[in-house]
Structure 1
Amino acid sequence: MEQLRAELSHLLGEKLSRIECVNEKADSALWSLYDSQGIPMPLMARSFTTPGVAQQLAWKTSMLARSGTVRMPVIYGVLTHEEHPGPDVLLLERLRGVPVEAP
């Protein structure tokens, strides 16, 4: 978790005070991101243990957002680990009205 927080802080160019797991499954986890003041950021991170799943989900979500009638979260990017081991991470919009803050 600390490695993920450090990588996301570096990628976003902003120090994250903490990240909290709000949903965990066997192959993925959804993380709530908090800025240096502890305020929830307008994006979330979803990490995947299987390589390639983040890119596939980003593509599917983007296609549904363009052609579907249901509001889909904006995909901000995908972080992959090709040179060293680590989870692939999908950065996506935190939808308003959907409570996901950790206590």
Structure 2
Amino acid sequence: MWHVRLFPVPFRLLAEEARFSKHSIIEVDVEPHGKRDSRPESLRPDLDTLKIVGEVPAGGDWRQRYKYVEPLVAPSLCAIKRDQEANGTSLGVFRPRRSPSV
């Protein structure tokens, strides 16, 4: 599992049955953007293949959503930056050890 950026998704132009919510689980065929966007996580969706296959409940209980996020959590910002240098990625998430003082 990895972060992906699906672009373009002209949401307002999607058929009603293909419109998905923020917490929807979807399946869609994708292809790399190629020379225009060489980031490995940037993918062009084939919207004709889009299917909504599930929904992660929204609301205050993060436990159900976290099982989808947890595999994406890097051990540190340094690890994300190393991956960026090695692979050209631009997305990442990590859990800070402590909150910074404001």
Could you say which TM-score interval applies, normalised by the shorter chain? Answer: under 0.3
Higher strand share: 1
TM-score (norm 2): 0.22
The TM-score with structure 1 as length reference comes to 0.22
Give the structure, 1 or 2, with the largest relative contact order (CA under 8 Å, sep 6 or more).
Answer: 2
Q: Quick check: which has more Rg, 1 or 2?
A: 2
